[in-house]
Structure 1
Amino acid sequence: MYAAIRIRGSVNTRSEIEDTLRMLRLNRVNHCVVVDENPHYKGMIQKVTSYIAWGEITSESLALILKNRGELTGRVKITDDYVAENTTYASIDELSEAVCSGKTILKNVPELRCVFRLHPPRKGHRGIKKTYTEGGALGYHGKEIVSLLKKMR
């Protein structure tokens, strides 16, 4: 599973980039989505890599995001009780392990909003004009996306 976080805004952005960000459901800055590792999503992510930070997510970090930022319709926080009542999983931790292993997807949880609204990172970004390899925040982070997600919890 990939986690994609929108870093840059939409001013002076080409329309095809803006459309791709909309298809990824990244409509605002500091929004995060979790997508499958398939060629379709990989191509969309590669197209907008100068506007997002992305990398592989672990089940522990997905559970952290779901507990802190997971919302249902109506801006209600998701709980272990809700997951136990409405899915076949007993807790958010079990759900995140199943999502990361590919057994289920987040859309199977009824009324779950698949976009996570994160805070700006504590201590700031390393720079939103440079890639991760150049010392900035954009582009492919690999497993280090977990540290950015923890800063934005």
Structure 2
Amino acid sequence: MIAAIRVRGRTGIRKDIEETLKMLKLTRINHAVLIEDTPSYQGMLQKAKDYITWGEVDADSVTSLISKRGKLPGNVKLTEEYVKENTDFSSIEDLSKAIVESGAKLEDSGIKPLFRLHPPRKGYKDLKKTFAESGTLGYRGEKIGDLIKKMI
């Protein structure tokens, strides 16, 4: 499972990149989505690499993301009771493990696939350089969990 976060704004974007970001549901700064690791999604991430950062996410990061920032339709906060009553899982931890390991989908559980996050504590390093150049943009690998924790 991959977490993708939009870190740059909307002005001055080429039309094809903007369409790609819409398909990823990343329409605003500090929005995050969880997507599957498929070749088509990898191509979309590469196309939008100058506006987003992404990496493989672990179950702990998904658990904190869902429990603190998960929303239901109608902008209602996600609770443990909702997960127990309306899904096949007994807790948010079980749901997050299923998402990471077996590819369960948030939409099937009735949870919105988009997470609205705060700007990261202590800020971004550099919004014009890639993560490999000690910046913010592009592929992060396992270190996306650190950024998610700074933004929750």
**Shared fold (TM-score greater than 0.5)?**
yes
Name which of structure 1's ranges 100-109 and 62-71 shifts more when overlaid on structure 2: 100-109
2:21–2:27 CA contact under 8 A, matched in 1: yes
Deviations 1:99-131 (A, max 9, x none): 101252111112x11100000000000111110
| Inter-partner Cα distance in structure 1 for 2:115 and 2:83 | 17
Task: Report the equivalent of 2:139.
Answer: 140
| Inter-partner Cα distance in structure 2 for 1:120 and 1:82 | 28
2:20–2:48 CA contact under 8 A, matched in 1: yes
| TM-score, normalising length: structure 1 | 0.97
| Inter-partner Cα distance in structure 2 for 1:142 and 1:121 | 18
Q: Can you give the 5+ residue segments of structure 1 that lack an aligned partner in the other structure?
A: none
Q: Can you give the 5+ residue segments of structure 2 that lack an aligned partner in the other structure?
A: none
- Structure 1 position 128 matched with structure 2 position 143: no
Task: Report the equivalent of 1:75.
Answer: 75
| TM-score, normalising length: structure 2 | 0.98
| Inter-partner Cα distance in structure 2 for 1:145 and 1:113 | 20
Deviations 1:20-69 (A, max 9, x none): 00000000000000000111111101110111010000011000000110
The runs of at least 4 consecutive aligned structure 1 residues that moved more than 3 Å come to: none
CA RMSD of aligned residues (A): 0.7
The secondary structure found in structure 1 opposite 2:131 is: coil
2:65 alignment partner AA = I
| Inter-partner Cα distance in structure 2 for 1:28 and 1:43 | 20
1:130 alignment partner AA = K
Task: Report the equivalent of 2:90.
Answer: 90
2:122 alignment partner AA = K
Task: Report the equivalent of 1:49.
Answer: 49
| Inter-partner Cα distance in structure 2 for 1:31 and 1:103 | 21
The secondary structure found in structure 1 opposite 2:133 is: coil
Task: Report the equivalent of 2:102.
Answer: 102
2:94 alignment partner AA = E
CA shift, 1:139, in A, is: 0.3
What is the correspondence of 1:11-26 to structure 2 with a 5 Å cutoff?
Answer: 11-26=11-26
Q: What fraction of aligned residue pairs are identical, expressed as a percent?
A: 47
What is the correspondence of 1:55-70 to structure 2 with a 5 Å cutoff?
Answer: 55-70=55-70
